[in-house]
Amino acid sequence: MGKDRECGQISAFHFAIVRQAFRQSVCEQGIAEGRWPDHAKRLFQQLSDEDPDDDMIGYIIAR
C-alpha cells in the first residue's frame, strides 16, 4: 500500500480500503463472527505491512 504513513499508522484512505476488503472477504468466505478479529488482523497485516492494535481491529470489524 505504499509507505505514506508515519509512526506505524496508515492513512484514512488506506484504512478504508482495508475495512472494505474485510467486509467483502467476510461475506464472500462466510467467516463466522467469532473469527472476525483474527481475520481482520491477518488482512490488515497483509495489506499494510503493519501490526494493528486492538482499537484498530475494533474499527475494522465495527458494523
Asked, for residue 41, whether it belongs to a domain, the answer is yes
pLDDT tens track for 4-63: 444 457 899 999 999 999 999 999 999 999 999 999 999 999 998 889 999 999 999 998
- Residue that wins the pLDDT comparison between 27 and 2: 27
The predicted structure's pLDDT at residue 8: 56
pTM score: 0.81
Which residues, in sequence order, are CB contacts of 36 under 8 Å at separation 6+?
A: 22, 26, 61
At residue 19, the pLDDT reads 96
Domain residues for 55? 32-63
Residue 14 inside a domain? The answer is no
How many domains does the chain contain in total? 1
Domain contains 44: yes
| Closest to 18 (Cα-Cα) out of 46, 39, 44, 53 | 44
